[in-house]
Structure 1
Amino acid sequence: MADEATEHDAPTRREYMKYGGAVVGGGLLAGCTGDDGGAQSSENGSAGDSYTVPMFPVGEVEFESVPESVTPYNMGWADMLVSLGQADKLKTNRLTAPTLFYDRFDIDWDADYPALWQDGGWSKEVMYELDPDVFLIDPNLMSQWGDNWSEEDTAELGENVAPFFGCHNRRIRGDWQKELGYPEQAPSLMEAFDAVGTVMDERERTEAWLDLHDELLSEVKSRIPNDEPPSIGLINSGSAPEKGEFYVLYLEDNGYEMKPYRDLELVEADAFAGVETGQYGLTDYETMMEVDPDLILVHWGITTGSVTFGGDGAFDGEQFREQFIEPMENHEVGSQLTAVQEDRVLPGPTAEQGPLVNTFQTELTARLFYPEEFGELDLDAPLDVPDAEQLFDRERVADIINGDI
């Protein structure tokens, strides 16, 4: 996936199919019967008739009726349902990290469901137990991640439980993704959301979100300073500064996890571009010192304090300092880093985001990098923004979620 506005090129390797319960034989799923990876439905399901919606890589997926229950795997796809006011239709335990976003709108949901991933592999038993009307999951992801999973397993679930409708478009850098044309064909975040909105027969809410998204990006881009942005050292939250272990991420990577940086035109500011690292981007204090970025950003850092990190769902500034900042301050080399000396080790956006979470994170990223233009970030409450500095209308978001459009 290139920039959000880039059109998808024609596929170089894919199989055309209508995907319902059957998996394409002889290899991973690939392709879509439409010309793009995106989001136009061929029919409208509001009248109770069957309808089809395209999605790369699964192709045209047929729905007998609008789904009443949905099981996603990634939190970003779960956020799409929340954004559409459909949190009550989710059957997932994956709504843990974004509670700091959702609590602002009194969004409630039931996360008391078993995890799809059990004992080192996918659980077919759990998927039968959940029995949703649709899996918002890329079937290719399942066979790639789970040694216990095959295309035949996917076909079985598609036949006996529900169709798969999803694309692993958070991060697009695996060899299998490159082989199947994901960098060129995978939908952007908002393209995928557009398709999900059609599946859920929520066109009005979907269009409202797309308008809000365009307005926000227009506002932000019109105010990006002409000055060169600070150099960025992006490290994953799995980094352990107390052990001298840093897992580097690259802003140029495809996928919706890097969307806020692309939208703020920050890709060229990547301090680690071209720097060699070890497995999974592993590097050390010496390399950090050689690069010496102006700003060290912790990917997923905004969800420090979430259930994922053992907290209650709110951002925990104290925990962030203890986990990431203080170990650098107390290290002989780390204490010499420019970002450490200038108090510029900051919590970055979470990788998982649908429209609601991304809206907040676009604003957050603007404040992280351009405080003189967009306002200073409060590390103790990074999502709390004075009314005069807010880049989008919170009431408008609440109205869309509630259907008051």
Structure 2
Amino acid sequence: MPRETDDHDDPTRRTYLRYGAALAGAGLFAGCAGEADPVPEQTETPRTDEPGTTTETTSSGQAREACLFPVGCREFTDPPDSVTTYNMGWADMVVALGHADRLRTNRLTAPTLFYDRFDIDYEAGYPALWQDGGFSKEVFYELDSDLFLLDPNLLEAWDDNWDESDTAEIESTVAPFFGCYNRRIRGEWQLDLGYPEQAPTMLESFDAVGTVFDERARTDAWLELHADLQARIDDRLPADPDPPSIALINGGSAPGDGEFYVLSLADDGYEMKPYRDLGLVDADGFAGIETGQYGLTDYETMLEVDPDLILVHWGITTGSVTFGGDGAFDATQFREQFVDPMASHDVGSQLTAVAEDRVLPGPTAEQGPLVNAFQTELTARLFYPDEFGVLDLDAPLDVPESEQLFDRERVRDILAGDL
């Protein structure tokens, strides 16, 4: 799969004619009119006129339309019996709707940390779309899914050998595409096509996927749960929050080799949603720090900023199947991979965060409504223990019932369709 630290920010300068800005200009977003400001992701229930996404449902078995940037509007009659995703956040949307059994993907390894709590079974042994440095058209045929929940622009941006004709071929002979690469929005191709202004939020995307699956009741239940979760957080956040200065590094960082990949809490995309929803900001000087390719920096530059806390993006999935574990967070493995190398380094040991044992695991970047609910609660406990309770790093998802920010039984009911 593509390296997590690069995210393919430097694609070829291909002109994307089939999707994106050209479609928006052609008026294919009927009901989606309006310019969107690049504002942080919203947590309230999306309105049907939110930029980037519209949904229109009818009774089961009748045609219904779902609209999503950049693919435009699609008409669906029957829910797809099989779907393939590339990003696990979109897979989580399908799982949240109670249809994990319809996924044909190999991208579901990390969320076992969350899914095991609800006895969610899924098959993740399908061949990978990304093979040998590119997307395999043969695998699209082999999977033979009813729908591909991924962004066709992503295929052309990341794979120099994939072009519009390949996308058209798959759509005409296998299944349509319906998705948006909105986990991280900073690639040059995304900027060229207006993603910062038009890409839907995670919840807006989920709203559209709910329409695709004709699951209005389940979708609304999740949106209500998230609105309530955010309201509980807003009610309890300190009036004058004073969180520690934070340096966010990617999970692809290698402290043992002196390599740190800098990220910003302010970046667009659903991967930063838990941080934004809690009003967290980067350490002074860290967001604009001078870095190399993919945000690469070193110990000396880290010491110049000397943050109170170093947060490892994707850290909560250290110990997952992705990292060779059994699916549960492994605090020992996290320390061996990230903390101990810093503590034993001449410069790293001088970092305040290292000296005070404040190198901590952050949320995983991939999250739909189920994973995000857990991660928002986890992040609240990580940064505001006085208000939300102390996070147990040995069991980060174990929260006393009295301190839980959302009802686990309600989640179980939604998954079961008991609404």
Same fold per TM (> 0.5)?
yes
Of 316-325 and 336-345, deviating more is 336-345
User: How far 1:132 moved relative to its partner?
Assistant: 1.0
Identify the match of residue 64 of structure 2 among 42, 51, 57. Answer: 51
Distance 1:29 1:135, change over 3 A: farther
What is the letter of the counterpart of residue 291 of structure 2? T
CA deviation digits over 1:189-232, x for unaligned, max 9? 00000000011001001000000000000111221122321100
User: How far 1:39 moved relative to its partner?
Assistant: 3.8
Distance 1:166 1:29, change over 3 A: farther
Provide the C-alpha distance between the structure 2 equivalents of 1:281 and 1:49, rounded to a whole number of angstroms: 48
User: How far 1:295 moved relative to its partner?
Assistant: 0.7
Identify the match of residue 125 of structure 2 among 109, 112, 124. Answer: 112
Of 236-245 and 266-275, deviating more is 266-275
Q: What does residue range 284-323 of structure 1 map to in structure 2 within 5 Å? A: 284-323=298-337
Aligned to 1:212: 225
User: How far 1:38 moved relative to its partner?
Assistant: 4.0
Identify the match of residue 161 of structure 1 among 174, 199, 210. Answer: 174
User: How far 1:176 moved relative to its partner?
Assistant: 1.1
Q: What does residue range 126-145 of structure 1 map to in structure 2 within 5 Å? A: 126-145=139-158
User: How far 1:30 moved relative to its partner?
Assistant: 4.2
Aligned to 1:389: 403
Q: Is the 8 A contact 2:109 2:321 kept in 1?
A: yes
Provide the C-alpha distance between the structure 2 equivalents of 1:267 and 1:182, rounded to a whole number of angstroms: 22
Identify the match of residue 237 of structure 1 among 251, 259, 279. Answer: 251
Aligned to 2:13: none
Aligned to 1:401: 415
Provide the C-alpha distance between the structure 1 equivalents of 2:127 and 2:410, rounded to a whole number of angstroms: 34
User: How far 1:110 moved relative to its partner?
Assistant: 1.0
1:41 aligns to what SS in structure 2?
Answer: strand
1:54 aligns to what SS in structure 2?
Answer: strand
Provide the C-alpha distance between the structure 2 equivalents of 1:333 and 1:26, rounded to a whole number of angstroms: 48
Provide the C-alpha distance between the structure 2 equivalents of 1:144 and 1:279, rounded to a whole number of angstroms: 18
1:273 aligns to what SS in structure 2?
Answer: coil
Provide the C-alpha distance between the structure 2 equivalents of 1:308 and 1:165, rounded to a whole number of angstroms: 26
User: How far 1:29 moved relative to its partner?
Assistant: 6.1
User: How far 1:66 moved relative to its partner?
Assistant: 1.4
Distance 1:342 1:37, change over 3 A: same
Provide the C-alpha distance between the structure 1 equivalents of 2:259 and 2:390, rounded to a whole number of angstroms: 29
2:328 equivalent to 1:337: no
What is the letter of the counterpart of residue 165 of structure 2? E
Distance 1:347 1:83, change over 3 A: same
Provide the C-alpha distance between the structure 2 equivalents of 1:366 and 1:42, rounded to a whole number of angstroms: 34
Provide the C-alpha distance between the structure 1 equivalents of 2:23 and 2:98, rounded to a whole number of angstroms: 31
Aligned to 1:19: none
Provide the C-alpha distance between the structure 2 equivalents of 1:144 and 1:275, rounded to a whole number of angstroms: 27
Aligned to 1:380: 394
Q: What does residue range 159-198 of structure 1 map to in structure 2 within 5 Å? A: 159-198=172-211
Aligned to 2:9: none
Provide the C-alpha distance between the structure 1 equivalents of 2:400 and 2:369, rounded to a whole number of angstroms: 21
Q: What does residue range 61-100 of structure 1 map to in structure 2 within 5 Å? A: 61-100=74-113
2:66 aligns to what SS in structure 1?
Answer: strand
What residue ranges of structure 1 are gaps of 5+ in the alignment?
A: 1-22
Provide the C-alpha distance between the structure 2 equivalents of 1:391 and 1:116, rounded to a whole number of angstroms: 36
2:55 aligns to what SS in structure 1?
Answer: coil
User: How far 1:382 moved relative to its partner?
Assistant: 1.0
1:288 aligns to what SS in structure 2?
Answer: helix
What is the letter of the counterpart of residue 298 of structure 2? D
TM-score with structure 1 setting the length: 0.91
2:365 equivalent to 1:346: no
* Aligned-pair Cα RMSD in Å: 1.6
Distance 1:105 1:260, change over 3 A: same
Provide the C-alpha distance between the structure 2 equivalents of 1:75 and 1:26, rounded to a whole number of angstroms: 22
What is the letter of the counterpart of residue 386 of structure 2? E
Provide the C-alpha distance between the structure 2 equivalents of 1:48 and 1:29, rounded to a whole number of angstroms: 32
Q: Is the 8 A contact 2:92 2:368 kept in 1?
A: yes
Distance 1:38 1:206, change over 3 A: farther
Aligned to 1:264: 278
Q: Is the 8 A contact 1:251 1:258 kept in 2?
A: yes
User: How far 1:390 moved relative to its partner?
Assistant: 1.1
Provide the C-alpha distance between the structure 2 equivalents of 1:26 and 1:252, rounded to a whole number of angstroms: 27
Aligned to 2:235: 222
Provide the C-alpha distance between the structure 2 equivalents of 1:64 and 1:372, rounded to a whole number of angstroms: 50
Q: Is the 8 A contact 1:301 1:349 kept in 2?
A: yes
User: How far 1:185 moved relative to its partner?
Assistant: 0.5
User: How far 1:62 moved relative to its partner?
Assistant: 2.2
Q: Is the 8 A contact 1:29 1:140 kept in 2?
A: no
CA deviation digits over 1:283-332, x for unaligned, max 9? 11111111111110000000001111111111111100000000111111
Provide the C-alpha distance between the structure 2 equivalents of 1:269 and 1:373, rounded to a whole number of angstroms: 22
Provide the C-alpha distance between the structure 2 equivalents of 1:26 and 1:394, rounded to a whole number of angstroms: 39
TM-score with structure 2 setting the length: 0.88
CA deviation digits over 1:326-357, x for unaligned, max 9? 01111111111111111111000000000000
Q: Is the 8 A contact 2:182 2:200 kept in 1?
A: yes
What residue ranges of structure 2 are gaps of 5+ in the alignment?
A: 1-15, 34-49
Identify the match of residue 279 of structure 1 among 275, 293, 306. Answer: 293
Of 97-106 and 32-41, deviating more is 32-41
Q: Is the 8 A contact 1:37 1:54 kept in 2?
A: no
Aligned to 2:160: 147
User: How far 1:277 moved relative to its partner?
Assistant: 1.2
Provide the C-alpha distance between the structure 1 equivalents of 2:175 and 2:226, rounded to a whole number of angstroms: 31
Percent identity between the aligned chains?
71
User: How far 1:28 moved relative to its partner?
Assistant: 7.3
Provide the C-alpha distance between the structure 2 equivalents of 1:302 and 1:182, rounded to a whole number of angstroms: 28
Provide the C-alpha distance between the structure 2 equivalents of 1:107 and 1:255, rounded to a whole number of angstroms: 26
Q: Is the 8 A contact 2:247 2:282 kept in 1?
A: no
